[in-house]
Amino acid sequence: EPEVTQTPSHQVTQMGQEVILRCVPISNHLYFYWYRQILGQKVEFLVSFYNNEISEKSEIFDDQFSVERPDGSNFTLKIRSTKLEDSAMYFCASNKRTGGNTEAFFGQGTRLTVV
């Protein structure tokens, strides 16, 4: 069964450093998302991406965040200068969304720890 894959599974970084989280969405999906989940809390939307541009972003997704689809398969989230409060699980998701709403498939997540 096709799945969304994310790398790395765990990333430890020093405050102020840049990190890039990587995702390979399901191959025939057109819509891509990043969500985050602070430990013990609910999953929060960060950004949605379609047709090589951001279609919606949340208040969390400030100038320190950016997304890119550098080739036909990868979808990345970059945090330019990490803060302690960026520590969370980051989930990539994708769906087809043709002919109406369909469920988003989530990856296993990258645990980001900022120290």
Partner 1 sequence: GESVGLHLPTLSVQEGDNSIINCAYSNSASDYFIWYKQESGKGPQFIIDIRSNMDKRQGQRVTVLLNKTVKHLSLQIAATQPGDSAVYFCAENIGGNKLVFGAGTILRVKS
Q: Which residues bind partner 1 (CB under 8 A)?
A: 4, 33, 35, 40-45, 48, 55-56, 58, 91, 97, 100-101, 103-109
State which residue, 14 or 62, has the beta carbon closest to partner 1: 62
Q: What is the DSSP pairing of strand 10-13 with strand 110-114? A: parallel
State which residue, 43 or 76, has the beta carbon closest to partner 1: 43
State which residue, 5 or 81, has the beta carbon closest to partner 1: 5
State which residue, 76 or 108, has the beta carbon closest to partner 1: 108
Q: How far apart are CA 65 and CA 84, in angstroms?
A: 15
The dihedral region occupied by 46, where left means phi > 0, alpha psi between -120 and 50, and beta the remainder, is alpha
Q: How far apart are CA 87 and CA 45, in angstroms?
A: 15
Angle at 90 between CA 63 and CA 31, to 5 degrees: 80
